[in-house]
Amino acid sequence: MAKVLPKRSEDYSLWYNELVKKADLAENSAVRGCMIIKPYGYSIWEKMQRELDDMFKETGHQNAYFPLFIPKSYLSKEADHVEGFAKECAVVTHYRLKNDENGKGIVVDPDAKLEEELIVRPTSETIIWNTYKNWVQSYRDLPLLVNQWANVVRWEMRTRLFLRTAEFLWQEGHTAHATKQEAKEETERMINVYAEFAEEFMALPVIKGLKSESERFAGALETYCIEGLMQDGKALQAGTSHFLGQNFAKAFDVKFATKEGKQEFVWGTSWGVSTRLMGALVMAHSDDEGLVLPPRLAPIQVVIVPIYKTDEEQSKIAEVAENLKKSLKKKKITVKFDDRDTHKPGFKFAEWELKGVPLRIAIGPRDLENGTVELARRDTKEKQTVNIESIETVIEDTLELIQDNIYKKAKDFRTENTFKVDNYEDFKAQLEKTGGFISAHWDGTAETEEKIKEETKATIRCIPLDAKEENGKCIYSGKPSNKRVLFAKAY
């Protein structure tokens, strides 16, 4: 296989786009701004779904499904919410087509105008809270812990595969509670679940923090987030969890009878991650040769490539490979035996390297004689000769080593690209030179935040949850500040 990717150092954006396409993750569709997720890419998303879904259920949540279409009037019930999403909404105005009278195909039937327009789901708070009104009467009905796996539409003008598309896949949790404390605990619990998933499965180190007021979810009182750092020095928001207070409960009149018989509004949360995680997985770990996938999310963890010249050699190698495949599958390791006779071994090596398979096994005639195989790691490119008798244990151990090494490499990169600055000139210089996370004092005002964004394109990614109290001066205004926040340019 010929060299197929540009170098990250030369054109990171082009490298990313080409890698997503050539590694068979996704491609652009005929519908502007929308993507087609290909089977190999979707299998990674399925593994993400499976792990996250198990984590949600472990914390007491159940899956449900709500309509794709939302009556326009629902969005207008919560003022901040409608303002936050109004410019991104796709609107359904008619319900029927008809043949054009002039014979020019089909047209919208003007007599089929909807009495009330429908919004194609940008997020589901409004329709879910309208439903919760019927589900909640008493404290006995609480808490409601519901999640849905769905697609949403947000009318993006500038799109990029996985990172920002007009339609994308996600999960959205929506919970209702009897007390403020319970709702806040739920909000924090779920951001911790996301952080655990990112670090344990994606091998992506993340910073947990609070969004500034201007960066909060529309309609939330507080937004928690996890932020990762990509290899080009830009940040990527990998998940959010929102404390909604009683905003949506009041907008949709969701009340419950307390133990004392009083009527009170419930307290709410919402939280979600999307196929944007696929973009994070690519950008955080991959290299100039292709994907580098953490074993816990790789669709194929081990690929076996036979090397032979004669039919007899092919037959003997295939027998060994198939037996090895069966034994590894019993250990829940996903294996592919690439026995295609239409491609040479060198082509296969390059293809599976491009697709990020963590471990490659090569078996040739000499290996059969010696009772060995060649084992190659995707993350470090290291090769070793391993006795066939011990290969299963070596593979299990090596997959764990790869998972740990990928995480460590990403964490070391973040550490090396996180900087403390104390004045605006150093802030701008560091942004221009290296990018990365910049820890700096901020006076807490939206005006200062907006000025910095206008002048540098950097935003406050979060106020880290572990940020220490520290007296200082805002890098922009010079006003007092008692805590550093994290700035970065972001996707």
Assess contact for 176 and 210: CB atoms under 8 A.
Answer: no
Assess contact for 87 and 154: CB atoms under 8 A.
Answer: no
First to last CA, the chain: 32
pLDDT of residue 1: 53
Average pLDDT, the chain: 96
In the predicted structure, residue 148 carries a pLDDT above the cut 90? yes
pLDDT of residue 81: 85
Percent of the chain beyond pLDDT 90?
Answer: 96
Q: Kindly state the average pLDDT of the residues 387-398.
A: 97
d(CA 103, CA 69): 32
CB atoms under 10 Å from CB of 434, counted, come to 12
417-442: pLDDT as tens digits: 999 999 999 999 999 999 999 999 99
Residue in this structure with the two tokens 């790869």, named with its chain if needed: 402
172-201: pLDDT as tens digits: 999 999 999 999 999 999 999 999 999 999
Higher pLDDT residue, 112 or 4?
112
Q: Kindly state the average pLDDT of the residues 299-327.
A: 97
Kindly indicate the confidence band of residue 62, based on its pLDDT and cuts at 50, 70 and 90.
very high
Q: Kindly state the average pLDDT of the residues 37-45.
A: 98
Assess contact for 452 and 195: CB atoms under 8 A.
Answer: no
Residue in this structure with the two tokens 């928001």, named with its chain if needed: 237
Structure tokens at 168: 């994308």
pTM of the predicted protein model: 0.96
Kindly indicate the confidence band of residue 84, based on its pLDDT and cuts at 50, 70 and 90.
confident
Kindly indicate the confidence band of residue 443, based on its pLDDT and cuts at 50, 70 and 90.
very high
Q: Of 49, 193, 70, nearest to 123 (Cα)?
A: 70
d(CA 134, CA 193): 29
Structure tokens at 200: 């344990």
CA geometry: angle 281, 286, 291, nearest 5 deg: 85
256-311: pLDDT as tens digits: 999 999 999 999 999 999 999 999 999 999 999 999 999 999 999 999 999 999 99
The H-or-E segment that residue 416 falls in is: helix 391-416
d(CA 347, CA 103): 52
pLDDT of residue 103: 86
Phi (first) and psi of residue 482, to 5 degrees: -115, 10
Q: Kindly state the average pLDDT of the residues 124-128.
A: 97
In the predicted structure, residue 2 carries a pLDDT above the cut 70? no
- DSSP annotation string for 326-377: HHHHHTT--EEE---SSS-HHHHHHHHHHTT-SEEEEE-HHHHHHTEEEEEE
- Report the amino acid identity of residue 308: Y
